[in-house]
Copies of this chain bind each other. A is one copy, B any other.
Amino acid sequence: MKKNIFYHAGCSVCKSAENEILQLIDKDSVEIVNLGDQPEKILPAKEAGLKSVPALVTSSGTILHINYGASIEDLIS
């Protein structure tokens, strides 16, 4: 089964959202990706439609942009 992926960039907005998401969703069903630590994943995430972090990409491919931490463009530069 494809996992849900929670993308963040280590910012405080991201951390807060991560804590909430992990309380709501079964931890085993979500993979956490810190784009600050894994910059090679930024462009593929952008191509998948990610516009900002934090965001949850569900197993069906739908992107839920949650609150607003940082633009994906700001992570590239």
Q: Which residues of A are in contact with B by a Cβ distance under 8 Å?
A: 4, 16-17, 20-21, 23-25, 56, 58, 60, 62-68
For A23, list chain B residues within 8 Å (CB).
Answer: 58, 60
Which residues of the partner chain B approach A17 to less than 8 Å between Cβ atoms?
Answer: 64
Chain A contact residues: helix, strand, loop or mixed: mixed
Q: Cα distance A33–B62 when bound, in Å?
A: 22
**Which B residues are CB-close (under 8 A) to A67?**
63-65
Residues of B with C-beta under 8 A to A68: 65
Which listed residue (B4, B16, B66) contacts A66, Cβ 8 A? B66
**A67 and B62 alpha carbons, distance in the complex (Å):** 11
Q: In the complex, which residues of chain B have a beta carbon less than 8 angstroms from the beta carbon of A16?
A: 62
